[in-house]
A and B are shown apart, each in its own frame.
Chain A
Amino acid sequence: MIATTSTNPGGFRLLLRLRGRLIRNRLAQAAEAAPLRMVTVVLFTSLIWYALYEMFDRIFVFLRMFREQSVVVIPYIFHIFFAAMTVLLSFSSAILTYSALFRRPEPAWLLAAPMRPRSVVAIVYLEAVFFASWSLVLLGLPLMVALGRVEQLPWYFYVTFLVAFIGFVPIPGAIGLLAAWSAAMWTPRSARRIFVVLAAATIVAATLWWARLWGASRADPDHWLSRFLAELGFLRGALLPSTWVTQAIRYSAEARPADAAFYLFVTVAHAVFLGWLAVGIVSRHVQPAFGRAQSSPTRTFGWGGRVTRIATDVLFCYLPRQVRCLILKDVRAFFRDPMQWSQLAILLGLLALYLLYLPRMHPDGFNLQWQGLICFLNYGAVVLILSTFTSRFVFPMISLEGRQIWLLGLWPVPRSTIVWAKFDFALAVTTLAAMLVTALSIRALELPLTLSLVHVAATLSSCVGLCGLAIGLGSRMPSYGESSGARIASSVGGTINLIASMILVLASLGLIGWLCYRSVFVLKTLSRFDAVNLGIYAAQIALGFGSGSLAMRIGVRHFTRSQF
């Protein structure tokens, strides 16, 4: 009997309809099962969006005070913004496309069916463009709306920038698609690691370049702005996509619709062409790339495995051997997943870089006010970075053990030990990273001993608080059925943990800010404390340790009574 079917010529439309159905089902399920979560996500997204809008609005109002300079400076802001977005979106598209095309089971299933590879690649490309462009929407829309409001621009400015955004994002998406395919073809063993390292190297290089540029320009106080902008001249290159988008938006703001339309056309035409080209190339050669990505030999970790064992034994020498074994598993998983360590390393690395450069930019040292302010801001940056890390990577740790509970549950140690081992591991990682940056901050600002101790103790108590919340709430509200850390982090429990972490961070920042303010403006010294400052100091320590230990008590109690 001959099969009753033929190849599906409308595969792309079919996959598009499927994506629509998946989104509808997901939204319906979320609205029915977790309406609070949906409301929270919308609320927080709106809050972040509004905060960004307010910030950009104030920047543009400030720039308007210098009318002549703002005419020159504002286009540069857009050149820099879109150039940075080209790089960031290319990297995020590459990572998303690589995972979607070469790591998930769906493409294998679709490619084994009579589905055109072009349809599969095209849908993955569009999906990556869509998800990667969230950052542009989140950052770009408030930026443009703020500019439109401050400059009182006509309605077609808003239409232009919307079309320009939509026309622009496929360009970095196409670069990302080609990068993902190249990685699968030639470096399938360590593709994600390479993306992360390249992204980190690009960010560090850009930061160093920016710091050098800023420092060199400031050395010439009379013409620093013109010198600074001259150095940025290459960003206005006619062949750069960022230039086309900037010019379209700029001419629209200057009421020159014909010029704006020309650059819009250039942007959209290139986006369509590059998208078509990238999808064409990748779909034509997707099979060998897929084969290589699927069948590349697994990395071996003989040497790395020994290093992590020794490091764990040294760092956690005070713990029983059995507990160290459990921690060693987490240490290895942490270092072998670049997504985990890279986020912490990149963000704290940038902060460390800034702190290393700080003394060079102010060779005469800082006065009292600057010391207090920068110390407070550094602390704020560190705890914010730590809170994102604990919410995304520490919170899911207990849930991810759900599938191994048949092993851990039979382990001859109290169940509470498993939770405490996770806490010890998370605390060690966050404290080590945070203390390195704190030490650099103390060195850069030449803080006196008293404030140095405050800085160190506040950071430590925040680490305890954030790790305690993440592990404690992760044990209290686990998602054992879920295998994706990202999904666990965005579950109801994950959202509650994020909110709790944010409250802790804000409360700690309030206390430390108050302490710094009193030291600078009331006591007029950073070297000694009065009773009020000591009280604030004690309250901050108590807040971190108290919230962490309370969450851990709740989590341990729930975990020991859980049935799996």
Chain B
Amino acid sequence: MSIRLEHVTKTFGRTTAVDDVSLDIRTGRVFAFLGPNGAGKTTTIKMMAGLLLPDHGRIEICGHPVSTDGFQAKSRMAYVPDQPFVYDKLTGREFLDFVVQIYNVPRDEASLRIDRYVELLRMGEFADQLAEGYSHGMKQRLVLAAALLHEPTVLVVDEPMVGLDPRTVRVVKDLFRERADAGHLVFMSTHTLEVAEALADEIAILHRGRIVAQGSLAQLRQQAARQQRLEDIFLQLTEEAELDRAAEAVHGMATPSETPDRPAPARTP
């Protein structure tokens, strides 16, 4: 398994952001992590990146526990946050050069890879300008290139397509597909359901900190008991979870807890 989450829970005060989430994701696929705003996606990703510590549970990246063997875990993954971070007073190329040094990519190999991604993501025009003048899309392209430079086994991307022009969206989609076909894992959190629908081999839907559904698009359709677009399935499943929660509140009793890696029982509308 490339990413394994075992009963991971994270609370902030009285709010449970991630509630007993378990995931086993193999390499060689694009995994889409969906959920409404505030569902706990970014918290889960930050725990995978080692930025937050889970209150309960265990996270492994390529077999290395993030909490006890963080160096090995982090060296095998790349994390692209939803707000791209770059140093304003570095040029794009200087930033990429800094990243290859962090990951100890050999010098000769590093310059080849930098040139390749600068060309692939069409950064040639601005790669030698200071990043302070970049638009959001330009920064997004730069951080994507930076994330791919060390050829990570696991690429974790939070909202990868925001701010990108259609041509670059296409390039990034192809890049993700190519990486998955080459045996790597692309884990992306997104609100762009069309991208997930077109690209993902496996999808998980998170709602209020819990996985409410997981599987391929076909499995999710089966679960929703109708042939429809991912958008409809997403809305239906998150609405059902909302209804379950309301019912719990009304009756003052807890429904049996769902096994996170097993889809929630489907209901016909």
CA–CA, A290 and B98, complex, Å: 23
- Inter-chain contacts of A4 with B (CB < 8 A): 105-106, 109, 150-151
Closest to A108 in B: B51
A-B CB contact pairs (8 Å), 29 listed: A2-B153, A3-B76, A4-B151, A5-B103, A5-B151, A7-B72, A7-B104, A8-B104, A14-B98, A14-B101, A21-B90, A21-B94, A22-B90, A25-B130, A29-B89, A105-B85, A106-B85, A108-B51, A111-B51, A112-B49, A112-B74, A113-B74, A113-B102, A113-B103, A114-B103, A115-B102, A294-B51, A295-B43, A295-B52
Q: Select which of B13, B46, B74, B104 is within 8 A of A297 by beta carbon.
A: B13
Closest 6 CB pairs of A and B: A5-B103, A114-B75, A7-B71, A112-B49, A114-B74, A105-B85
User: Closest residue of chain A to B87, judged by CB?
Assistant: A22
B102 touches A14 (CB 8 A): yes
User: In chain B between 67 and 85, which residues have their CB closer than 8 angstroms to a CB of chain A?
Assistant: 71-72, 74-76, 79, 81, 83, 85
On chain A, the residues within 8 Å of B53 by CB distance are: 287-288, 291
Query: Are A114 and B105 in contact (CB-based, < 8 A)?
Result: no
| Distance (whole angstroms) from the CB of A342 to the closest CB of chain B | 27
Is B50 touching A8 in the complex (CB atoms < 8 A)? no
Q: Is A72 part of the contact surface with B, judged by Cβ < 8 Å?
A: no
Q: Are A26 and B89 in contact (CB under 8 A)?
A: yes
Interface residues of A (CB under 8 A from B): 1-8, 11, 14, 18, 21-22, 25-26, 29, 105-106, 108-109, 111-116, 287-288, 290-291, 294-297
Q: Which residues of B lie under 8 Å from residue A106 when comparing CB positions?
A: 85, 87
Known: A4-B151, A14-B101. 19 other contacts (CB 8 A): A1-B182, A3-B151, A4-B106, A4-B109, A5-B151, A6-B104, A8-B103, A8-B104, A11-B102, A14-B98, A18-B98, A25-B91, A105-B81, A106-B87, A108-B51, A108-B81, A112-B79, A287-B50, A297-B12
In the complex, what distance in Å separates the CA atom of A29 from the CA atom of B150? 31
| Docked pose: A165 CA to B74 CA in angstroms | 40
Q: Does B124 contact A (CB under 8 A)?
A: no
A25 to B131, CA, bound (A): 11
Query: Chain A interface mostly helix, strand, loop or mixed?
Result: helix
Q: Are B51 and A1 in contact (CB under 8 A)?
A: no
Counting residue pairs across A and B whose Cβ atoms lie within 8 Å, the total is 103
Complex-state Cα separation, A22 to B90, whole angstroms: 6
A18 contacts which chain B residues (CB < 8 A)? 87, 90, 98
Contact A3 B98 (CB under 8 A): no
Write the nearest CB–CB distance from B11 to chain A, whole angstroms. Answer: 9
Write the nearest CB–CB distance from A486 to chain B, whole angstroms. Answer: 14
Task: Compute how far the CA of A296 lies from the CA of B79 in the bound complex, rounded to whole angstroms.
Answer: 22
- Measured in the bound complex, the distance between the Cα atoms of B98 and A6 in whole Å is 15
Nearest chain B CB to A474 CB, angstrom units: 21
Is B265 interfacial (CB-CB < 8 Å)? no
**Does B257 sit at the interface, judged by CB under 8 A?**
no
Residues of the B chain whose Cβ atoms lie less than 8 Å from the Cβ of A288: 53
Given the complex, which residues of A lie within 8 Å of B130, measured CB to CB? 25, 29
Judging by beta carbons under 8 Å apart, are A114 and B102 in contact? Answer: yes
Residues of A within 8 A of B207 (CB): none
Q: With contacts A3-B150, A114-B71, A114-B75 known, is A8 near B102, CB below 8 A?
A: yes
Contact between B104 and A105, CB atoms less than 8 A apart: no
Minimum C-beta distance from B62 to chain A (A): 8
Residues of B within 8 Å of A114, CB to CB, are 71, 74-75, 102-103
CB-defined contacts of B89 to chain A, threshold 8 Å: 22, 25-26, 29
What is the size category of the interface that chain B forms with chain A? 35 or more
Chain A residues whose CB sits within 8 angstroms of the CB of B150 once the complex forms: 3-5
Which of chain B's residues have a CB closer than 8 A to the CB of A5?
75, 103-105, 150-151
A297: min CB distance to chain B, Å: 5
In the complex, which of the residues A1, A11, A18, A112 has the most CB atoms of chain B within 10 Å of its own CB atom? Answer: A112
Interface residues of B in 48-67 (CB under 8 A from A): 49-53
CA distance A116 to B102 in the complex (A): 10
Tell me the nearest residue of chain A to B184, going by C-beta: A1
Docked CA distance A331–B251 (Å): 45
Min Cβ gap B262→A in Å is: 28
Contacts of B75 in A (CB 8 A): 3, 5-7, 114
Chain A nearest CB: distance from B216 CB in Å? 24
Instruction: Select one of B52, B71, B101 contacting A291, CB under 8 A.
Output: B52
Q: How far is the CB of B78 from chain A (nearest CB, A)?
A: 8
CA distance A6 to B73 in the complex (A): 10
Q: Within 8 Å of chain A (Cβ to Cβ): is B37? A: no
**Chain A residue at minimum C-beta to C-beta distance from B14:** A297
Q: Are A25 and B15 in contact (CB under 8 A)?
A: no
Is B209's beta carbon under 8 Å from chain A? no
| Distance A25 CA – B90 CA, assembled complex (angstroms) | 7
A100 to B71, CA, bound (A): 22
A contact residues around B90 at 8 Å (CB): 18, 21-22, 25
In the complex, what distance in Å separates the CA atom of A18 from the CA atom of B150?
19
A contact residues around B106 at 8 Å (CB): 4
Contact of B152 among A3, A7, A296, A297 (CB under 8 A): A3
CA A18 to CA B127, docked complex, whole Å: 17
The answer to whether B183 has its CB under 8 Å from any CB of chain A is: yes
In the complex, what distance in Å separates the CA atom of A6 from the CA atom of B102?
A: 9
CB of B193, distance to nearest CB on chain A (Å): 26
Least CB distance from A19 to B in Å reads: 10
Contact status A296-B12, CB under 8 Å? yes
CA distance A116 to B98 in the complex (A): 15
CB neighbours (8 Å) of A294 from chain B are: 46, 51-52
- Output the nearest chain B residue to A5 by Cβ-Cβ distance: B103
Closest to A2 in B: B153
Closest residue of chain A to B52 (Cβ to Cβ) is A291
CB closest residue in chain B, given A116: B71
C-alpha gap A129/B28 in the complex (Å): 47
Name B91-147 residues within 8 Å CB distance of A: 91, 94, 98, 101-106, 109, 130
Interface centre among A5, A6, A111, A297 (most CB of B within 10 A): A5
Residue of A nearest to B149 (CB): A5
CB distance from B65 to the nearest CB of A (A): 14
B81 CB contacts on chain A under 8 angstroms: 105, 108-109, 112
